[in-house]
Amino acid sequence: MKIESLQDLFEIELRYVYDCEQKLVKKGLPTMIEAASSPELRSALEQHLEETRNQVARLERVFSTLGADAKTEGNDILDELNSCVKDMISDIDASPLRDAALIVGGNKVEHYEMAAYGSLVAFAQQLGFEDAVQLLEQTLEEEKAADAKLTQIGETVINPRAGQEPRAA
């Protein structure tokens, strides 16, 4: 798709985040949940999986308000982030250290999503898509909260545990 207007850019970015959220629901978050050993981390990831399912539906409503088909556009950024998380899972035995690595991966995804949704909100405001603005702002706030929760769990629970593990010689 040749991008020739702000609306074109808005729609292509919507398709990128739609792809991102769908991949997180189908594989990304379930993989992280399964790999997490900390009950606190597992609970936070499970909660965010439910939020992400709602975010997919919210994006479908945004597409509907635009009169556009809810289609995905391949998201290489998320694919690369997911690949890094999979590598960490396979390279680190189940432990607080693996949980710390999962938090790093989760924070990276959240930061990408915050950047994407922040731009989408700005574009929707500029284009006068008030319904889309409200829906996208709601998701942006959820992504910020998920990032903050992961950081809080890391700093107060996981990182202290991982720091107590013996170091390799």
Among 58-67, 72-81, 131-140, which is the least confidently predicted range? 72-81
- Cβ-based neighbours of 41, under 8 Å, separated by 6 or more: 99, 102, 103, 150, 153, 157, 158
- DSSP assigned state of 38: -
Q: What is the mean pLDDT of residues 63-80?
A: 91
Q: What is the mean pLDDT of residues 86-96?
A: 92
| Domain 6-161 top-level CATH class | mainly alpha
- The chain-wide mean pLDDT, for the chain, equals 95
pLDDT at 168: 54
pLDDT at 166: 73
- DSSP-assigned letters across all residues of 31-72: HHHHH---HHHHHHHHHHHHHHHHHHHHHHHHHHHHT-----
Output the six-digit token pair for 101. Answer: 């690595």
Q: What is the pTM of this model?
A: 0.93
Please determine, for residue 37, whether its predicted confidence score (pLDDT) is greater than 70.
Answer: yes
The confidence band for 56, taking pLDDT boundaries of 50, 70 and 90, is very high
